[in-house]
Amino acid sequence: MTETATLNIRHAVAADARALAHHMAEWFLAAYSHASSAGNLASFVTTNFSPQKQAAEISNPQIVTLVAEAGSDMVGYAQLRFATPAPPSITEPGSAEVGRFYLAPTHHGRGTAALLMRAVRAAARERDRRWLWLLVWQQAPQAIRFYEKQGFKKTGDAVFMVGDDRKADWVMHAPAADITDSSQ
Ligand SMILES: CC(C)(COP(=O)(O)OP(=O)(O)OC[C@H]1O[C@@H](n2cnc3c(N)ncnc32)[C@H](O)[C@@H]1OP(=O)(O)O)[C@@H](O)C(=O)NCCC(=O)NCCS
């Protein structure tokens, strides 16, 4: 199924902080609550997904938060981070991190993710970044498959902390050029 024409992707604004924090927690738990203890999940959600934290990230000039909306419903979001130190396996200068990339479960498999990644790539190029990198859990086959379809390749390994739970991640990278436009 492909996405309908009503999908809108825009930069988050301060007024989005509360809804964004709510959906961040909701979609993280929908995807990964099976993978860590309740205590570690609660610690991760509290640390990362408060409205205050999202307000700070939205106003941070080194972070771009994009939200995808279907009508008035927020159905996905992504965060690009420009100042995060890249892992050692990322050697291209001026790479930007795709720090978070999540859809509502109702929007999986509908083409929304490709549209959101296209917007992420455009936002990276607007800041003169030529490469993207990200971390993905090794046991997240749906996300890995999506990133591979988007041209991401594994460059190394990393540890991602969920509370005090050490998750074995892959580091992946891809050009920021739009994969549907070979002229870029
Ligand atoms: C990652 C995410 C944004 C991708 O969006 P999506 O709409 O699922 O992406 P797509 O449908 O385009 O691609 C997913 C692919 O994985 C495949 N897939 C789905 N479940 C799978 C599974 N359990 N094992 C292997 N492949 C799987 C799909 O069939 C599809 O591949 P195909 O197009 O070759 O058939 C979305 O799944 C999501 O929000 N997941 C939860 C959050 C998350 O993990 N984010 C990434 C954090 S690093």
DSSP at 176: S
**83 alpha carbon to ligand 1 midpoint, in Å?**
27
Question: Pick from 113, 108, 109, 110: which is nearest to 152 by CA?
Answer: 113
What CATH fold (topology level) applies to the domain 7-175?
Aminopeptidase (3.40.630)
Q: Encode pLDDT of 154-163 as tens digits.
A: 999 999 999 9
**CA 63 to ligand 1 centroid distance, Å:** 24
What is the distance between the alpha carbons of residues 52 and 71, in angstroms, rounded to a whole number?
26
What does the chain come to in residues? 184
Per-residue pLDDT reduced to its tens digit, 141-153: 999 999 999 999 9
Q: What is the pLDDT of residues 94-108, one digit of tens each?
A: 899 999 999 999 999
Q: What pLDDT is recorded for position 179?
A: 87
Residue nearest to atom 17 of ligand 1 (CA): 142
Whether the predicted pLDDT of 184 surpasses 50: no
Overall average pLDDT of the 108-136 stretch: 97
- The pairing of strands 131-137 and 95-103 is parallel
Q: Quote the pLDDT of residue 2.
A: 56
Query: What pTM does this model have?
Result: 0.95
